[in-house]
Amino acid sequence: MFKDIKSLLEINWIYIFLLLIIFWIGEINLYSAADGNLEPWALNQFKRFIIFLPIFFFIIMLQPKFIFNISELLLILIVLGLIGTLFFGYIGMGAKRWIRIGGFNLQVSEFAKIALVLFMAKYFHKLNSEKTIGFIKALIPLIISFTLFFLVAIQPDLGTAVIILILGLIAIFYAGINLIYPIISLIGIALASPFLWTLLKPYQQNRIMIFLNPDLDPLGKGYHIIQSKIAIGSGGQNGNGFLGGSQSSLDFLPEKETDFVFAIFSEQFGFTGSMIVLGLFLIFFLIPILKSFKLSQVFNKLILFVLSFKIFFEFLINISMTIGLVPVVGVALPFMSYGGSSLLSNLIICALLINFMSITEKKRMFS
């Protein structure tokens, strides 16, 4: 089940170092979001980090083979967890998104992303024989992706559901689906969008309308976007300095510790700081992927690629949301937004990435 203790020497310490830097920036940012106080966010987030470290190293030390073996089981547990959330979930912000396990409120949908990727990796690994994958072979991954999407969407948490679906589709794309199918689907979605629009809840339609024109409702739903843009824009080239952000310290920015945490950062550290964070996340994204090029086992490659993509994708979506490039969809900024489930799931992902980056492939690794 576990690797040899010596394998710790193979760990990509640069990657861990980057992770710590990003988390440290996040901590400083939460400290400033609370006007220079460790309470209520920075200290709490740090405690969580410490509590999660054993899990992190536990996963780093797992044998890839073991992960390979339990991937279907994990998916089944997640599906049960999502169904359980619907029935026994804890209601917050108008949705049932959390389930209470051992004193923690867990957002099962965050872990569904991991389980889905692990399942896909194993599925396509087993298919490892053909040039491109036809529609029939992609059917099971598609059904599973849509099932998870559906279970999360009805919570309702459309933002997370869309991310899950996109991760599933990216995995299928990466695994080598015939390009005809993605192209056909994109055209299909474009044609069906008027119909899809009517399926959205009024508040979701509202968010999209307000995204397109925040001034429709400057004090209501457009307020988030307007205030966030003011915070970021007023940061200027070098920012207002550490703890110098008036938008955040004066509470003009709602949800500043979660979805809009980047605005707090950017107001203080400006364009320069924003570019540094963007660069860090880009490197953080590319390190596992460069390793994936060197590997040949589909299971390893797919895990490294799609999970690394997940973190970077959420980073891009979150920032785009705060600068008004995409509608407000409720996606956390990895390692910087305050929140336990997001932190835990991203730590697990990083642990998996570190684990798979350190392996040396042997033939018949997963048979």
Partner 1 sequence: MEKNKTSQDSIKILNRRSFIIIILGIFFSLVVAVRLFSLQILNFGFYKKKSLENKVSVKVTPPLRGDIYDSNKNLLAGNTSFYEFVIYKNLNKNYLKEIKKINSLIGLNLNIEEIFKKLKKFNPYSAYTISKASWAQIVEFEKNKFLFTSIKIIESKKRFYPYKNLSQIIGYVGSSSDSSYLYPKGIFHIEKGYEKHLKGSPGKIFNEVNSKGKIVREISIENPIKGNDLHLTINLELQNYNQSLLPISNKGSIVIINRLDGSILSMNSNPTFDAQIFEDKDNDKINELLNDSSKPLFNRAFSGFYPPGSVFKPIPALLGLQKNLINETTEVVCKGHSSIDDRNYYCWKKRGHGRVNLKKAIRESCDVYFYELAKKTNINDLANLATNLGLNQIYNLGLSNAQKGLVPDKKWKRAFLDEGWYLGETLITCIGQGYNLTSPLQLANLYSALLNGGKYPQPRINKNTEIEYLGKPFENHFQKILIDSLKAAVQEPTGTAFKLNNLHPDFVKIGGKTGTSQVVRIKEEEREDDLYKTKEIEDRFKDHSVFVGYAPLDNPKYIASVIIENGGSGSSVAAPIAHKALNFAHSLNV
Interface with partner 1, residue 92, by CB under 8 A: no
Choices 22-30, 55-63, 108-116, 286-294 (CB under 8 A): range interacting with partner 1: 286-294
AA identity, residue 291: K
300 contributes a contact to partner 1 by CB under 8 A: no
Q: Can residue 275 be called a binding residue for partner 1 (CB under 8 A)? A: yes
Does position 298 interact with partner 1 (CB under 8 A)? The reply is yes
The residue length of the chain stands at 367
Dist CA 33 CA 189 (whole Å): 40
Q: β-pairing, 95-101 with 90-92?
A: antiparallel
CA distance 108 to 100: 10
Task: Report the residue from 175, 210, 332, 353 that binds partner 1 according to the rule CB under 8 A.
Answer: 175
Q: CA-to-CA distance for 77 and 95, rounded, in angstroms?
A: 21
Tokens of 202: 């009024």
* Phi, psi angle pair for 104, to nearest 5°: -105, 145
Please choose, from the candidates 60, 80, 70, the residue with its C-alpha nearest in 3D space to the C-alpha of residue 8. Answer: 60
Q: Tokens standing for 241?
A: 């300095």
Among 74, 104, 176, 206, binds partner 1 (CB under 8 A): 176
Q: Which is nearer to partner 1, 107 or 292 (CB)?
A: 292
Amino acid letter for position 345: S
Query: Nearer to partner 1 by C-beta: 128 or 205?
Result: 128
What's the closest the beta carbon of residue 356 comes to partner 1, in angstroms? 14
**Of 108, 302, 349, 359, the one binding partner 1 by CB under 8 A:** 302
CA distance 36 to 45: 15
Residue in 38, 86, 154, 230 binding partner 1, rule: CB under 8 A = 230
Binding mask 129-168 for partner 1 (x = CB under 8 A): xxxx------------------------------------
User: Site residues for partner 1, window 238-257 (CB under 8 A)?
Assistant: 246-247, 249-252
Between 66 and 293, whose beta carbon lies closer to partner 1? 293
Give the C-alpha distances (Å, rounded to integers) separating 325 from 108, 190, 230, 328. Answer: 28, 19, 14, 9
Backbone angles phi, psi at 97, to 5 degrees: -120, -15
Among 24-32, 54-62, 169-177, 188-196, which window interacts with partner 1 (CB under 8 A)? 169-177
Q: Are strands 104-106 and 90-92 parallel, antiparallel or unpaired?
A: unpaired
Tokens of 142: 């598609």
- Nearer to partner 1 by Cβ, of 132 and 205: the residue is 132
The three-state (H, E, C) secondary structure of 90-123, written as one string:
EEECCEEEEEEECCEEECHHHHHHHHHHHHHHHH
Sequence letter at residue 219: L
- Give least dist CB 304 to partner 1, A: 9
Q: What is the amino acid identity at position 11?
A: I
320: how many CB neighbours lie within 10 A of its CB? 15
User: If binding is defined by CB under 8 A, does position 270 make contact with partner 1?
Assistant: yes
Single out the segment in contact with partner 1 by CB under 8 A; choices: 95-103, 159-167, 285-293, 332-340: 285-293
Please select the residue that binds partner 1; options are 3, 122, 291, 301, rule is CB under 8 A: 301
> Which residue type is seen at 352?
L
Q: In angstroms, what is the minimal distance from the CB of 233 to partner 1?
A: 3
Interacting stretch for partner 1, rule CB under 8 A, among 70-78, 150-158, 268-276, 334-342?
Answer: 268-276
Judged by CB, which is closer to partner 1: 129, or 193? 129
Size of the site for partner 1 (CB under 8 A): 52
Exposed/middle/buried for 166, CB within 10 Å: 0-12, 13-18, 19+?
middle
Question: Which of 266, 337, 345, 346 lies at the binding interface for partner 1 (CB under 8 A)?
Answer: 266
Give the residues lining the site for partner 1 (CB under 8 A): 128-132, 170, 173-176, 227, 229-237, 246-247, 249-252, 266, 270-271, 274-275, 278, 282, 285-286, 289, 292-293, 296, 298, 301-302, 305, 309, 312-313, 316, 319-320, 323-325
